[in-house]
C-alpha cells in the first residue's frame, strides 16, 4: 500500500473514532431513557420522551394509543397494569346511560289512585338543579289534582364506598339520593356591603357566625353531621356551593315550600293492581355534557341510580346497574374492571389503560363522532381542557380528565396533523409533583404524538 494512502486512512479513522464514540454514547443515553420508565411497545422516540421526563420519572405511568379507524395499538406502556382511574370512570357511567336510559331522563315514577298520587324518585338530579335545571317534575306535581304522597324508595347510602369522608363540605361531594332537589346543595352569594343571599332561602336561618379556627381557605363550611353553615366574612364578591345533609323530613319540607301544597310521606308499598308510570325528563345529552365537561360527580352518581331505576322499580342500587352493564356490554374488556361508583371519587375503582382505550373504541363505534366529541371537554373550548390542547384552528384533543390527590389522568381522542383519530389513555398515579406540572408534561408529549403519528 502506498505510504500516502496509508497515512490518509490513519487520519480518517482517527477522525471517525470520536464520532462513533459520540453515537454510541447517544444510543446508550437513548436506551437509558427508554428503560427509565420501563420500555414501552411502540415508537422509540416516544419511549425516549417518556423515559427522559423528569416530571414523570418517580410515579406510576401508563399509556395506550390506538388508531380509532383500524383498532391497531400504536403504543403501550404499562397498559396491562391497574391504575386508580379517578373521574375517567365517568366514561363508563356515560356508557351505562347510553345503553339503559334511552333519549330522556326518567324524572320520577308514580301511581294514580282514586284521590291520590303516589310518587317516588328515580335518582333524577335535575329538579331545581342550579346548572342542569328541569321544571318538568315540579310542574307535574304542582298541577296534579290528587293529594300528593311521597314514597321513600330503598336506595343507596349517601356516600359511596371508598370516598374520602372529609369531602362532605365541598361542592364536588353532594350526598346521593333517590329524590334530589336543588342538586342537594345550598348556594351562597356574597357581595360587599350587602346581605348574604342563600338559595334555597329556607337554609338562611341555619347560617351561623364563624367559629374560632375556621379554615381561611373556605368561604363556607358545614358542620359534619348537621345543617349548620359557617360563613367567613370577606370584602370581595364570591359564590360558593355547599352540600346539605339530606333526610326524608327535609325533602318533604323543601317540596312543600317549593310546590306550595301539602306532601305527605307513605311507607314504601305497592299493590299488585297498581299501574306504574314514568314521567320523562330532560334529554339525556344535557346531563351527559355537563357531567363530562366539568366532571360533575353528583350527576355521575345519580346517572347510575337512574340506570338502576330502569332495571327494576323496587330499589335504586348502583351496584345492580354496574353488574348489568358489565355483564351485558363490557364482558369483552381486555382486563377485569373494578367498578364501584359512578363518579370515580372512590379509590376502590381500578382500570387498566387498555381497558379505557377499549371503552373509547366502543363509544366511537356506537355513537356518531360529532355527538360524541360534543359531549366531551374540548381543548381550548370548554370544560376541564379549556386551557390547553388547541391551536389557532381549534381543539385537537377531546376527552375526560381524572384528578384526585397524587393522581392525574386523561382519556379521550386526539386528532393528529395527518388527520388520524387516536384513542388515548395517559394515566399518572402516585405523583408528588404539582398536578399542573404533570398536566403540562402530558400536553407536551401528546403534542409530539400529534405531530409525528
Domains annotated for the chain, with CATH where assigned, are: 42-85+350-452 (3.40.710.10), 188-245 (no CATH)
Where helices occur in 113-241 by DSSP H, the ranges are 136-143
What letter would DSSP give residue 173?
Answer: -
Is-contact 137 279, C-beta < 8 A?
A: yes
Is-contact 300 343, C-beta < 8 A?
A: yes
Laid out side by side, the sheet with 60-67 consists of 73-77, 60-67, 421-429, 407-415, 397-404, 377-378
Q: Under 8 Å CB-to-CB from 325, ≥6 apart: which residues?
A: 92, 95, 96, 99, 100, 307
Q: Under 8 Å CB-to-CB from 298, ≥6 apart: which residues?
A: 125, 172, 174, 176, 180, 183, 184, 185, 343
pLDDT of residue 13: 46
pLDDT of residue 42: 84
Is-contact 239 188, C-beta < 8 A?
A: yes
Is-contact 425 414, C-beta < 8 A?
A: no
pLDDT of residue 217: 73
How far is Cα 232 from Cα 246, in angstroms, rounded to an integer? 23
pLDDT of residue 254: 96
Q: What is the CA radius of gyration of the chain?
A: 27
Cell of 86: 379517578
Q: Nearest to residue 85, comparing CAs of 335, 291, 440, 351? A: 351
Q: Under 8 Å CB-to-CB from 233, ≥6 apart: which residues?
A: 210
Residue 200: asked if its preceding bond is cis (omega within 30°), the reply is yes
Is-contact 321 307, C-beta < 8 A?
A: yes
The separation between CA 40 and the C-alpha centre of its own chain, rounded to angstroms, equals 27
Burial profile 77-100: b = 16 or more Cβ within 10 angstroms, e = fewer? bbbebbbbbbbbbbbbbbbbbbbb
pLDDT of residue 382: 81
Q: Which residue has the cell 389557532?
A: 392
* Residue pLDDT tens, the chain, 453 long: 555 544 544 544 455 555 444 445 544 444 444 444 456 788 899 999 999 999 999 999 999 999 999 999 999 999 999 999 999 999 999 999 999 999 999 999 999 998 999 999 999 999 999 999 898 999 999 999 999 999 999 999 999 999 999 999 999 999 999 999 999 999 999 998 889 999 999 999 999 988 777 777 788 999 999 999 999 877 789 999 999 999 999 999 999 999 999 999 998 778 888 889 999 999 999 999 999 999 999 999 999 999 999 998 789 999 999 999 999 999 999 999 999 999 999 999 999 999 999 999 999 999 999 999 999 999 998 889 989 999 888 999 999 999 999 999 999 999 999 999 999 999 999 999 999 999 999 999 999 999 999
How far is Cα 269 from Cα 263, in angstroms, rounded to an integer? 17
pLDDT of residue 35: 45
Q: Under 8 Å CB-to-CB from 283, ≥6 apart: which residues?
A: 103, 104, 105
The model's pTM is 0.89
Q: How many CB atoms lie within 10 A of CB 64?
A: 31
Is-contact 102 288, C-beta < 8 A?
A: no
The separation between CA 164 and the C-alpha centre of its own chain, rounded to angstroms, equals 16
How far is Cα 296 from Cα 87, in angstroms, rounded to an integer? 9
86: Cα within 13 Å, side-chain hemisphere? 19
Q: Sign (positive/negative) of CA torsion 128, 133, 139, 140?
A: negative
Amino acid at each position: 500500500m502506498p505510504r500516502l494512502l496509508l497515512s490518509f486512512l490513519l487520519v480518517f479513522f482517527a477522525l471517525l473514532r470520536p464520532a462513533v464514540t459520540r453515537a454510541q454514547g447517544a444510543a446508550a443515553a437513548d436506551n437509558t431513557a427508554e428503560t427509565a420508565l420501563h420500555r414501552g411497545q411502540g415508537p422509540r422516540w416516544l419511549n425516549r420522551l417518556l423515559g427522559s421526563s423528569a416530571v414523570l420519572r418517580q410515579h406510576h405511568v401508563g399509556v395506550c394509543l390506538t388508531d380509532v379507524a383500524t383498532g391497531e395499538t400504536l403504543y403501550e406502556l404499562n397498559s396491562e397494569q391497574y391504575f386508580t382511574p379517578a373521574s375517567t370512570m365517568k366514561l363508563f357511567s356515560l356508557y351505562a346511560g347510553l345503553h339503559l336510559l334511552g333519549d330522556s331522563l326518567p324524572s320520577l315514577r308514580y301511581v294514580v289512585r282514586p284521590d291520590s298520587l303516589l310518587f317516588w324518585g328515580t335518582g333524577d338530579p335535575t329538579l331545581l338543579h342550579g346548572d342542569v335545571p328541569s321544571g318538568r317534575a315540579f310542574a307535574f306535581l304542582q298541577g296534579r289534582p290528587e293529594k300528593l304522597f311521597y314514597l321513600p324508595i330503598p336506595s343507596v347510602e349517601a356516600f359511596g364506598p371508598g370516598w374520602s369522608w372529609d369531602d362532605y363540605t365541598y361542592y364536588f361531594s353532594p350526598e346521593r339520593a333517590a329524590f334530589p332537589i336543588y342538586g342537594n346543595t345550598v348556594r351562597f352569594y356574597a357581595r360587599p356591603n350587602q346581605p348574604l343571599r342563600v338559595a334555597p332561602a329556607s337554609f338562611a336561618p341555619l347560617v351561623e357566625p364563624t367559629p374560632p379556627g375556621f379554615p381561611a381557605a373556605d368561604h363556607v363550611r358545614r358542620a359534619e353531621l348537621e345543617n349548620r353553615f359557617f360563613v367567613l366574612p370577606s370584602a370581595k364578591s364570591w359564590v360558593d356551593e355547599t352540600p346539605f345533609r339530606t333526610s326524608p323530613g327535609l325533602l318533604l319540607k323543601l317540596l312543600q315550600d317549593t310546590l306550595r301544597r301539602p306532601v305527605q310521606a307513605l311507607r314504601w308499598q305497592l299493590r299488585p293492581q297498581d299501574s306504574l308510570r314514568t314521567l320523562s325528563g330532560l334529554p339525556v345529552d344535557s346531563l351527559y355534557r355537563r357531567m363530562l365537561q366539568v366532571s360533575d360527580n353528583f350527576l355521575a352518581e345519580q346517572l347510575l341510580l337512574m340506570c338502576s331505576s330502569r332495571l327494576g322499580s323496587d330499589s335504586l342500587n348502583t351496584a345492580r346497574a354496574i353488574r348489568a352493564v358489565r355483564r351485558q356490554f363490557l364482558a369483552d374488556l381486555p382486563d377485569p374492571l373494578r367498578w364501584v361508583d359512578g363518579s370515580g371519587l372512590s379509590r376502590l375503582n381500578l382500570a387498566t389503560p387498555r381497558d379505557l382505550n377499549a371503552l373509547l373504541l366502543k363509544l366511537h363505534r356506537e355513537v356518531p363522532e360529532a355527538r360524541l366529541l360534543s359531549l366531551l371537554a374540548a381543548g381550548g373550548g370548554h370544560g376541564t381542557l379549556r386551557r390547553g390542547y388547541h391551536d389557532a384552528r381549534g381543539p385537537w384533543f377531546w376527552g375526560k380528565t381524572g384528578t384526585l390527590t397524587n393522581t392525574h389522568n386523561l382519556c379521550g381522542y386526539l386528532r393528529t396533523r395527518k388527520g388520524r383519530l387516536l384513542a388515548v389513555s395517559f394515566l399518572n398515579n402516585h405523583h408528588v409533583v404539582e398536578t399542573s406540572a404533570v398536566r403540562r408534561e402530558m400536553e407536551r408529549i401528546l403534542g409530539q404524538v400529534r405531530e409525528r403519528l
